[in-house]
Amino acid sequence: MSHLTQQEMQAILDAPIPSGWFGVRDRAMLHVCFAGALRASELVGLRLSDLAMQPYASVVVHGKGRRQRCLPLWKETASALKAWLSVRGTVSTPEVFINARGEAMTRSGFQHVLRKHAAVASKACPSISRKRVSPHVLRHTSALTVLQATKDLRKVSLWLGHASMQTTEMYTRIDQTVKLEALESVVAPKLRSGRFKATDRLIASLNTAHITHRRKTVGR
């Protein structure tokens, strides 16, 4: 499963220059996609009515099978999103992220934005150029970030909107530290120390068995 390191992910998040309309939008899209572990369809499908900025920032995500999940946003993500909303402008499109024509951002449009900024980020972090960066790679990277922070697969499953825990278990095969920490947290049973005491009867029985075994071996 392809995923990014923390350094690679940070380089991509830092790639958009927030000095203009497109840079502010792209930075917000990347932050929201990564922080929420969103599929491309979930990201471009977000509507203004799905956002809540008070008392804390959160977003309602409409996932597969009509499943919904409400996710709190990190402070950095909330700041990037607020900056975008302040320059988005008043348009009739209900989706949060729009293109230059004021229409809803498409999946292919976001994939283009991601590839563009991944190319820019690869100059500061060359290892990115050896990976195929896609929206789902950001989703996997977010899942591993949550898993490493919480060490709880149930929380990762809720964060991703998985219908089954079996789907989430694949992340433990990537992050072996989760298994090691689980092993270290279990107190192993202790063995009682002591001396072995053999009775005369037991010793005689063992000697007889040994002599019988040797006779059988010699006789073969």
Q: Is 131 a catalytic residue?
A: no
The one catalytic residue among 64, 123, 173, 214? 64
Q: Is 171 a catalytic residue?
A: yes
The one catalytic residue among 25, 27, 39, 88? 39
Q: Is 162 a catalytic residue?
A: yes
The one catalytic residue among 27, 31, 140, 171? 171
Q: Are 3 and 137 a contacting pair, CB within 8 Å?
A: yes
Which residues, in sequence order, are CB contacts of 167 under 8 Å at separation 6+?
Answer: 157
Q: If DSSP codes are grouped into helix, strand and coil, which group holds residue 148?
A: helix
Q: Is 47 a catalytic residue?
A: no
Q: If DSSP codes are grouped into helix, strand and coil, which group holds residue 181?
A: helix
Q: Are 68 and 45 a contacting pair, CB within 8 Å?
A: no
Phi then psi dihedrals of residue 214, to 5 deg: -65, -40
The one catalytic residue among 27, 88, 139, 140? 139
The one catalytic residue among 47, 136, 151, 155? 136
The one catalytic residue among 25, 31, 140, 162? 162
Q: Is 136 a catalytic residue?
A: yes
Phi then psi dihedrals of residue 202, to 5 deg: -65, -40
Q: Is 64 a catalytic residue?
A: yes
Active site residues: 39, 64, 136, 139, 162, 171
